[in-house]
Structure 1
Amino acid sequence: MKLYHHPISGHAHRARLFLGLLGLEHELVEVDLANGAHKSPEFLKLNPLGQVPVLEDGDKVITDSNAIMVYLAKKTGATNWLPEDAEGAARVQRWLSIAAGQIAFGPAAARLITLFGAPFDADEVISRAHAVLGNIEDHLKTNDWLAASHPTIADVALYSYVARAPEGNVDLAAYGKVRDWLKRIEDLPGFVPFMHAPEEMLKSA
């Protein structure tokens, strides 16, 4: 397996983290986003959207971080990470939708402002971030994990951008249950740390 990634992409880390948690051997290929490697003809053959991550597994090419996790869970029969029963699968899907929605347009977007000067309204996306963090905090008051009594790909899907929310000026101080949950993920066997953004990228923060 080969994973095309970038070390400060939360989407790419999501896929890399799950590969680590599954203990799957893989080759990492860093895509030079700063110099436009993701828009090169070669890379666009892998993913016409020009985005990381991309998983290459023999002749199969899987794009989108959540799709990669579903693929890996199904390929390895990891039903603990992706339940096969209807209710369990629906609970996981709910959180994958939150990862692609409220997380992407909240803490992930706020981080894009400080790292890359993305043209979002900082107050708006930070407010969205706190709204979704409040929902997660409430859920974790009575649950250790998001979608089951054990970790699933739902937890992996939310980890990276929640963990690095402070890089987008989203303070986690008020979310004790969220911080405890982050620590539980970090204590899992096979956990792969998410690189902090270089200090010089955060000078606008």
Structure 2
Amino acid sequence: MTIRLYRFALSGHAHRAQLMLSLLGLPFETVEVDLVTGAHKTPEFLARNPFGQVPVLEDGEHTIADSNAILVYLALRYGDGRWLPGDPLRAAAVQRWLSVSASQLVNGPGMARVEVLFKRPRDPQRLQAATRLFELMDKHLAAQPFLAGDTPTIADIAMYTYSAHAPEGGVSLQPYPQLRTWLARIEALPGFVGMQRLPDAPALTA
């Protein structure tokens, strides 16, 4: 049985799934979906995900779309219990950050990076939203090493990529020492794999 990940190499959403697969040590194939040419809107791809978005995971007869849904699926099917804890309070903490990853993270640093990637007009509200989010994260991470407690969970995986690559969208990480230390903790996990950087992008520690 082959696991296939349909992705766009510069998509932070797709990288979440790729990173989780790698951290779990699962063999998988990647299928590139070129968003620039509209490959995600073809009938063939829409049959896998009617919303026309990457990533999509195929695991045998199962097809799972949406990056956070893929994280939940992988954690429950292949994880050892730590990536999505069963304790109600920790599970709620994980879900909180999954929600943040789908809203504030994407709408702030994620969209700031998209504006650079696709050469769109810059919206200063994206940078303001990123600043507010990173200030909150930095304060939160001063009290604990990972977002949902003392050990990494899928909350950290969901929040990692667009946070780490925020400098590509013009958002500096220098004012947030706790956040940068948290990024380093994730990058030190066995099986970590980074995402491709934008051409001519500033250093990720900027």
CA distance in 2, matches of 1:25, 1:113: 33
- The alpha-carbon deviation at position 17 of structure 1 amounts to 0.3
Instruction: Tell me which residue corresponds to 1:150.
Output: 151
Sequence identity percentage: 53
1:1-205 maps to which residues of 2 (within 5 A)? 1-118=3-120, 122-199=123-200
CA distance in 1, matches of 2:143, 2:120: 36
Q: Secondary structure at the match of 1:103?
A: helix
CA distance in 1, matches of 2:47, 2:200: 33
**Post-superposition CA distance 1:129-158 (Å, at most 9, x none):** 000000000011111100021100000000
Residue type of the alignment partner of 1:169:
G
Gaps of 5+ in 1: 201-205
Contact kept? 2:5, 2:56, Cα under 8 Å: yes
CA distance in 2, matches of 1:58, 1:44: 18
Residue type of the alignment partner of 1:166:
P
Paired positions, count:
199
- The alpha-carbon deviation at position 77 of structure 1 amounts to 4.2
CA distance in 2, matches of 1:191, 1:140: 20
Normalising by structure 1, report the TM-score. 0.94
Mark the CA change 1:77 to 1:163 in structure 2 (over 3 Å): closer, same or farther: closer
Q: Secondary structure at the match of 2:107?
A: coil
**Post-superposition CA distance 1:88-134 (Å, at most 9, x none):** 11010000011011101100011111111345x52101000000000
Q: Secondary structure at the match of 1:84?
A: coil
- Could you say what the CA RMSD is over the residues aligned between the two structures, in angstroms? 1.2
Task: Determine which structure has the larger helix proportion and give its number.
Answer: 1
Q: Secondary structure at the match of 2:30?
A: strand
Normalising by structure 2, report the TM-score. 0.94
- The alpha-carbon deviation at position 76 of structure 1 amounts to 1.6
Mark the CA change 1:111 to 1:77 in structure 2 (over 3 Å): closer, same or farther: closer
